[in-house]
Amino acid sequence: MYRGAMEPTWTSGGAPRGWGDWNRFIFDLPFAVAYFLFLKSTYQLEVIDPDWAFFRSASLAAVSQIFATVFLVKALMVKNFAVGTALAKTEAILTAIIGAWFFSATLSFVAYLAVAVGVLGVLVASNWKITLRGLVDNKSIKYGIGAGLGFALASLWIRDASLGLELPRLLSAATVLVYMVALQTVICLLWIAIKEKHQFTLIAQNILPAVFIGFTSVAGSVGWFTAMSLQNAAIVKTLGQTEFVLTLLITYLYFGERITGREYAGMALVAASVLLLLTTSV
């Protein structure tokens, strides 16, 4: 959340949009390993022996997360980017639907309602205006839905991988995290070495922001992965919509940007969705 709010300061400092997302996958690894080793030592476990189902689910989650991030960056770069970014925010609903159909992760009616209200709140706050041009903008729709679908699938596979480990939930989440980050680091380094060698120069020129990205990203991922190990992924995604509320507050306090009426309305809807979840059984 804080990383997202601070990104304008990096892009204005010379790093292109999307630079932080590439570096997120690379600089996460040292912090993820340190967290994993700390928990492993705390629980006094010598060996963790995941099965093939873990590697399947965690690998699919890692790749899905990369594709989702790429689609989200591309959505930000197209002319009519508001459509794409708004559709990407439907990941909570996609998580609920796909989870019910393919992962046996059903919810109560009130919980589904809360998910829908939360997504509506984010869409309202994003100031997305539905226009004919926006609906026929194939790139925006493709990238937006691709990002939302990728993040939704990643969430479901993360939970699946974590639940498959017979470990304390904190440690199982950390195991999934460190494996995914390691795999993503290898994939991204290979991609950059083959296709985008200039990224290495940007990394060298922006090493401190890159380390900051890695730390804050892992800190957020620890929360996400642990929560999805404990609760239905769609519920976690809905509660996570409060991230944008905190981001708005940071941009208001740090950058002095005024919060609009639509943003206040969106925050109210997100708050209502959270209250619904807190007062009902999922």
Residue with tokens 């601070």: 6
Q: Which of these, 221, 213, 225, 224, lies nearest to 27 by C-alpha position?
A: 213
Q: Which of these, 84, 159, 160, lies nearest to 128 by C-alpha position?
A: 84
In this prediction, residue 9 carries a pLDDT of 42
**pTM of this prediction?**
0.84
pLDDT tens-digit map of 150-194: 999 999 999 999 999 989 999 999 999 999 999 999 998 888 888
Expressed as residue numbers, the domain containing 175 is 2-9+16-278
Question: How many whole angstroms separate alpha carbon 186 and alpha carbon 198?
Answer: 17
Q: Which residues of 172-187 are buried (b: 16+ CB within 10 A; e: fewer)?
A: bbbbbbbbbbbbbbee
Q: Which of 22-31, 78-87, 204-213 has the lowest mean pLDDT?
A: 78-87
Tell me if 130 sits within 8 A of 80, measured CB to CB: no
The structural domain count of the chain equals: 1
Residue 109 has pLDDT above 60, yes or no: yes
Q: How far is CA 94 from the centre of its chain?
A: 14
Residue 132 tokens read as 């004919």
Tell me if 75 sits within 8 A of 84, measured CB to CB: yes
Angle between helices 138-163 and 52-77 (to 10 degrees): 160
Q: If you average pLDDT over every residue of the chain, what do you get?
A: 83
Tell me if 144 sits within 8 A of 88, measured CB to CB: yes
Question: How many whole angstroms separate alpha carbon 116 and alpha carbon 269?
Answer: 10
pLDDT tens-digit map of 223-256: 999 999 999 999 999 888 877 777 777 777 877 7
Kindly report the number of other CB atoms within 10 A of residue 100's CB atom: 15
Label residue 129 left, alpha or beta by phi (over 0 means left) and psi (-120 to 50 means alpha): beta
pLDDT tens-digit map of 123-141: 887 766 555 555 555 677 7
Tell me if 240 sits within 8 A of 114, measured CB to CB: no
